[in-house]
Amino acid sequence: MGQPKMADDFSSVFEPPLDQTPDVDELVRAAMEWHFSPLTGSPYWVERAKTLGFDPRKDVQSQADLQLFAGVPVDWSSIPADQLIPRGNAGRSVRHGVYESGGATGAPKRIIDATSRRRNVEWQSRMLDEQGFPAQGGGWLHIGPTGPHIMAKNITSLGEIRGHLSYFVDLDPRWVRRCLAEGRKDEFRRYIDHILDQVKDVLASQDIRLMSSTPRILETIAGRDDVYRLVREKVQGMIWGGTSMDAETLRLFEEEVFPQARLAGAYGNTMMGVAPQRTRRAGDAAPCVFRPYYPYTIVDLVDPDEPSRRVADGEQGRVVVTALTRDHFNPPTLERDLAVRQPSADGFPGIELSDVRPYESASTTVVEGVY
């Protein structure tokens, strides 16, 4: 058997030094070759290629050609995860993990990751340095999904890179959603209190200096005196993400609730990776602008009513993500979020976005009853 094209053949595109951005079309070609070649591709994509009606390795030569995948839905919830491991990774002696989405829009989606996300996090870490985020020493407490969720792996990587020990308080977002959907507010409250009790315990006994969580959890901390006092005393940096945050809430967190800490947002999900908050600049139209990890994550914003039209700067659009890493290929996929496109700063080649919020199709109901 002849030696297959090895991983190293693409490393200058998949894993160049962090300050080098590969040409997007070159990355597209590398991703097509890597994921669809019978030698290096995953069983899933190699098999799927046979029914696509086009040959990704031949027909997809540029970012624009990715449109060929427009009619190709992927049911990430049902693919056996082992079928997603690129065969080429076998020669790289890396450890694979299975990671799941929170399942906000149905059954959880599953992906594979070995080393790609760590690069995304290294890049995020550089942005945190630029923003004066504390580093070296002390612990990092993550209050959020662990278990199958990639967030925990990301935070572990971030902690390692930045010189902190990672601590976790596990939160099951699926249970929270279920409580709320079924109107079981009491149970939800008790669960949050249970989470905050654990947070308090870690904060009281460990040298915690950084924290990451969702806006909602941070809000509940602001509403619980005992935990809030500990956070104010100890935490110098915070990352929020997972759900959206409006501009006024962000202002309140930064100026009134946690003025002692640096705050940084992180947009993203299992399918696309992390788009960290880009360092704020005078004249920014929004207080928090997210920068996707281009070109490994390509974010597009399209007209919700006419998805073939890309929105202009300043316009709101629905998020479309494409992921092109060595471990994971996500063809362009319409996501549930809306965001506003921001003009990219300092020549950054991808688009930037702000004001992320969930897309809710307009439905109006008649309100009955006079009050």
Partner 1 sequence: MSGRTALYEIPLIRAGEPARSAERTELCGVDGTPLATVHLAPPLLARLTVASARAGEESTPDPSLLRQAGKLFATATLNGLSPQEYCDLQSRVTGVPVTVARHSLEDVAQTFANVGARLAAERPPGTEDEFGPGVISAVWARRGDVLAVIAPSNNPGTHTQWLTALGCGYRLVVRPGARDPFTPARMIAALLEAGVAPHYLSLLPGSHATGDALVEAADLSLVFGGDAAARRYGQDRRVILRGPGRSKILHSGAITDRVLDVICDSAGFDAGMRCTNLTAVFTDGDPAALAEAVAERLARLVAAPPQSPEAQLPVLPLAEAQRLRTYLDGQLAGAVDVAAAHYPDGSVADLGDGSAALRPAVLLCDRVDHPGSRIELSFPCVWILPWQRSDGFGPLRDTLALTILGDDRTLAQEALRERTVRKVLFGAFPTYSAGTTSPHDGYLSHDLMEARGYGTAG
The site for partner 1 (CB under 8 A) is made up of: 183, 185-186, 189, 219, 222-223, 246-253, 256-257, 287, 364, 366-371
CB of 223 vs partner 1, minimal distance in Å: 5
Helix 185-205, helix 215-222: angle, nearest 10? 80
Which sign does the torsion angle of CA 37, 62, 324, 329 carry?
negative
> Which residue, 122 or 219, is less far from partner 1 as judged by CB?
219
> Which residue, 136 or 364, is less far from partner 1 as judged by CB?
364
> Which residue, 259 or 349, is less far from partner 1 as judged by CB?
259
Name residues whose C-beta falls within 8 Å of residue 96's C-beta, 6 or more positions apart in sequence.
Answer: 85, 89, 112, 113, 114, 327
- What's the CA gap between 361 and 84, in Å, rounded? 32
Task: List the one residue out of 266, 205, 267, 203 whose CA is nearest residue 235.
Answer: 203
**Alpha-carbon Rg of the chain, whole angstroms?**
21
> Which residue, 90 or 247, is less far from partner 1 as judged by CB?
247
CB of 367 vs partner 1, minimal distance in Å: 6
CB of 116 vs partner 1, minimal distance in Å: 35
CB of 272 vs partner 1, minimal distance in Å: 26
Amino acid occupying residue 59: D
> Which residue, 16 or 223, is less far from partner 1 as judged by CB?
223
CB of 339 vs partner 1, minimal distance in Å: 16
> Which residue, 112 or 353, is less far from partner 1 as judged by CB?
353
- Distance set, CA 91 to CA 88, 253, 324 (Å): 6, 47, 20
CB of 287 vs partner 1, minimal distance in Å: 7
CB of 209 vs partner 1, minimal distance in Å: 23
